[in-house]
């Protein structure tokens, strides 16, 4: 157990203690308010480049297991909690969270007043931060942090996206073929689509529109992923060419890239939405879902042509737009995470909406 420091871009400092991985790590620091699901959070590629603070103070209670992973590795840059659990309890657990972080060489720190840190981020906004277990010289930390690029304008997709295509088979009978552009997809999106009979042909984000069309799929899915959507110009270009040619569904980064492809703008939220308790109203059926959220950027709905695009989902907390539908073409997208993992399953019906859109297009 060693001293550790979390130094923020604005000069604020929080003290804590490190686990067994030492050194420095830097990134954008964001807080997540989910009570459960730390293993899913750690392995969600959308967190690439970020240091995650869990607002719930007791983390690691149920250990980790082999199933609850959203990708093949931990993606967070650093993990900040109040207290790591030493003796976990769960019938599925295969190891402790501490061991898991150690194996992933992830710097995790505890003993931090995470509520004070969260309040600070809420008031001042998400910002860059550096964790160090060795360097306690603030000047030196500042110098290191200055070299870390800002989240705005950063293309993190290329860090996490696959280099080669792969196929995720339908569980049971294959009814549909969908091209999935993987910008850092969460596995549960693939699992949910597989359950509905979709065979996912997962492709790297660099795949061209022509190549995608040549795959003769029933639909196109644009995945979630990390970083600033505006920086992923190559996918936005591809999407622009495919609108109207294929039924398109996008989640999170997918939604943002669609917004940009439609000629709109995205902006950075002050501290983003990261958690599992956000109420979102589906304006098409007047239903409220409690949703899993993880985004730092948002589509500016006013930048879109209202004759082409309508907002179909609204976050009831801050009234931000959480879903878009094209009025003429088969296309809709969702800012939050209907695939849950972690978080509530209330919005799973949206995968069914994608199927309906595909079916309608087939006729």
Partner 1 sequence: MPKRTDIKKILLIGSGPIVIGQACEFDYSGTQACKALREEGYEIVLVNSNPATIMTDPETADHTYVEPLSVEFLELIIQKERPDAILPTLGGQTGLNLAVELWEKGILEKYKVEMLGANYEVIKKAEDRKQFKQACIRCGLDLPRSSFAYTLEEAQVAVQEIGFPCIIRSSYTLGGTGGSIVYSREEFDVKAQRGIDSSRIQEILIEESIEGWKEYELEVMRDKKDNVVIVCSIENLDPMGVHTGDSITVAPAQTLTDREYQIMRDASLKLIREIGVETGGSNIQFAVHPRTGRQVVIEMNPRVSRSSALASKATGFPIAKFAAKLAVGYSLDEIRNDITRETPASFEPTIDYCVVKIPRFTFEKFPEAKDILGVQMKSVGETMAIGRTFKEALQKGLRGLEIHHIGFDNKNDYRLIDDDKIKHRLREPNASRIFYIKYALQKGWSVEDIVETSRIDIWFIAQLKQILDFENELLAEIEQTKILSTVSLRKAKEYGFSDAQIGEFLKVNESAVRQMRKQQGIVATFKLVDTCAAEFEAYTPYYYSTYETEDEAVILNEAAAKRDGGKRRKIMILGGGPNRIGQGIEFDYCCCHAAFSLREQGFETIMVNSNPETVSTDYDTSDRLYFEPLTFEDVMNIMDVEKPDGVIVQFGGQTPLNLARRLQQAGVPIIGTSVDSIDIAENRERFAELMDKLGIAQPSNATASSVDETIAAASRVGYPVLVRPSYVLGGRAMRIVYDEETLLSFIDEITDVSRGHPILIDKFIEDAMEVDVDAVCDGENVFVAGIMEHIENAGIHSGDSACVLPPHTLSEEILATIKTHTMNIALSLKVVGLMNIQFAIKGRQVFILEVNPRASRTVPFVSKAIGVPLAKMAARIMAGEKLSDFKLPDVDHLGQVAVKESVLPFSRFSGVDIILGPEMKSTGEVMGLASTFGMAFAKSQVAANQALPRSGSVFISVNESDKRNIAFMAKRLHDLGFKIYATKGTAKVLRSSGVLVSAIDKTGESSRNILTSIDKGEINLIINTPSGKKSQTDMRAIRGAAIMRNIPCITTLQGAWAAVQGIEASLKEGFTVESLQSYYKRSL
- Interface with partner 1, residue 203, by CB under 8 A: no
Instruction: Find the shortest distance in angstroms from Cβ 321 to partner 1.
Output: 16
CA distance 111 to 40: 22
216-275 positions binding partner 1, by CB under 8 A: 275
Q: Are strands 248-251 and 287-300 parallel, antiparallel or unpaired?
A: unpaired
* Bridge partner residues of 280 (DSSP): 289, 315
User: What is the DSSP annotation of 189-222?
Assistant: HHHHHHHTTEEEEEE-TT--HHHHHHT--SEEEE
- Interface with partner 1, residue 154, by CB under 8 A: no
- Interface with partner 1, residue 61, by CB under 8 A: yes
Specify whether 337 is catalytic. Answer: yes
The residues, any chain, with a CB within 8 Å of residue 306's CB and separated by 6 or more, are none
The residues, any chain, with a CB within 8 Å of residue 228's CB and separated by 6 or more, are 151, 152, 153, 154, 155, 156, 266, 268, 297
Cβ-based nearer residue to partner 1, 40 or 353: 40
Residue among 201, 326, 337, 353 flagged as catalytic = 337
- Interface with partner 1, residue 344, by CB under 8 A: yes
Cβ-based nearer residue to partner 1, 162 or 344: 344
> Number of residues in contact with partner 1, rule: CB under 8 A?
56
- Interface with partner 1, residue 55, by CB under 8 A: yes
Q: Report angle CA 339, 209, 253 to the nearest 5 degrees.
A: 30
Q: Which of 156, 342, 351, 357 binds partner 1 (CB under 8 A)?
A: 342
- Interface with partner 1, residue 40, by CB under 8 A: yes
The residues, any chain, with a CB within 8 Å of residue 150's CB and separated by 6 or more, are 28, 128
Specify whether 201 is catalytic. Answer: no
Closest CA to 26 of 127, 162, 164: 127
CA distance 289 to 221: 22
Q: Which of 12, 21, 35, 268 binds partner 1 (CB under 8 A)?
A: 35
Q: Which of 12, 21, 83, 104 binds partner 1 (CB under 8 A)?
A: 83
Site residues (vs partner 1, CB under 8 A): 14-15, 31, 33-37, 39-40, 55-58, 61-62, 65, 67-68, 82-83, 85-92, 113-116, 118-119, 122, 275-279, 281, 286-288, 290, 316-318, 340-346
- Catalytically annotated residues: 252, 337, 339
């Amino acid at each position: 157990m060693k001293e550790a420091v979390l130094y923020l871009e604005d000069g604020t400092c929080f003290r804590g203690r490190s686990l067994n991985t030492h050194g420095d790590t830097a990134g954008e620091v964001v807080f997540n308010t989910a009570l459960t699901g730390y293993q899913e959070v750690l392995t969600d590629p959308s967190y690439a480049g970020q240091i995650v603070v869990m607002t719930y103070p007791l983390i690691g209670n149920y250990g980790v297991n082999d199933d609850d992973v959203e990708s093949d590795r931990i993606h967070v840059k650093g993990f900040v909690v109040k207290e790591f659990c030493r003796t976990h309890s769960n019938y599925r657990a295969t190891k402790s969270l501490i061991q898991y972080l150690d194996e992933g060489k992830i710097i995790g720190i505890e003993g931090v007043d995470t509520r004070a840190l969260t309040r600070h981020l809420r008031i001042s906004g998400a910002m860059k931060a550096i964790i160090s277990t060795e360097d306690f010289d603030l000047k030196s930390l500042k110098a290191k942090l200055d070299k870390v690029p800002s989240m705005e304008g950063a293309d993190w997709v290329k860090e996490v996206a696959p280099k080669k295509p792969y196929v995720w088979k339908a569980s049971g009978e294959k009814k549909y073929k969908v091209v999935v552009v993987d910008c850092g997809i969460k596995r549960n999106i693939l699992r949910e689509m597989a359950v509905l009979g979709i065979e996912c042909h997962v492709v790297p984000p660099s795949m061209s529109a022509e190549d995608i069309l040549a795959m003769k799929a029933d639909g196109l899915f644009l995945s979630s992923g990390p970083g600033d959507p505006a920086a992923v110009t190559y996918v936005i270009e591809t999407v622009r060419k495919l609108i109207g040619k294929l039924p398109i569904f996008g989640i999170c980064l997918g939604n943002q890239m669609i917004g940009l492809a439609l000629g709109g703008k995205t902006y950075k939220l002050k501290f983003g939405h990261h958690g599992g308790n956000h109420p979102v109203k589906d304006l098409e059926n007047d239903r409220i879902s409690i949703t899993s959220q993880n985004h730092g950027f948002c589509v500016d709905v006013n930048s879109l042509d209202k004759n082409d695009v309508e907002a179909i989902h609204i976050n009831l907390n801050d009234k931000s737009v959480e879903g878009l539908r094209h009025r003429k073409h088969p296309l809709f997208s969702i800012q939050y995470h209907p695939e849950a993992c972690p978080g509530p399953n209330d919005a799973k019906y949206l995968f069914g909406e994608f199927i309906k859109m595909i079916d309608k297009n087939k006729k």
